[in-house]
Amino acid sequence: MKLFLVRHGEAVSSDVDPVRPLSGTGKAVVAKVGRHLKGLGIRVADIRCSTKARALQTAQIIAEEIAPGQAPAETQGLKPNDPVEPVVRQLEGETRDTMIVGHLPFLPALAGRLLGEARPPETLGFPTAGVLALVRSEEGIWSAEFQVWPEQIK
């Protein structure tokens, strides 16, 4: 099983819109990342995102590229400060390649927990629209497969 952890794209400030949807730049960068993932042959069976607008928009844009016709599932428990253990337990029984679109500090904390990292999760930093791909072995051991940071994409 592969797990793709994606941080939402750049959002407008809460002064502009308290809902904090993606900015124009955020939408463009997320679309670029989605095209890049498609070019890598990435396909997922399940896309989950937090209930925040910026995460849903990010998931929708990426889904157009790597899961056409599939609507992302807004999922409780993926907000910035939610505990990661419930998601870890859900992933234990999952066999399909899955994408989770979320926020800081949740995503680095989840990655750190799955990878068995002893270091503080902040050291796993995620840029906006960044992707960390993890793979779980048959023995249930997670490892990092690759990362895509938007500034790496030409």
Is the pTM of the predicted complex or chain greater than 0.75?
Answer: yes
Query: Mean of the per-residue pLDDT values for the chain?
Result: 94
In which domain, by residue range, is 46 found? 2-152
Q: What is the pLDDT of residues 58-100, one digit of tens each?
A: 999 999 999 999 999 999 999 999 999 999 999 998 999 999 9
Q: What is the CATH number of the domain that holds 9?
A: 3.40.50.1240
Residue 117: pLDDT band by 50, 70, 90 thresholds?
confident
In 29-38, which positions are buried (b, 16+ CB within 10 angstroms) versus exposed (e)? bbbbbbbbbb
Instruction: Tally the domains of the chain.
Output: 1
pLDDT at 119 over 70: no
E-assigned strand segments in the chain:
2-7, 46-49, 73-74, 98-102, 131-136, 142-148
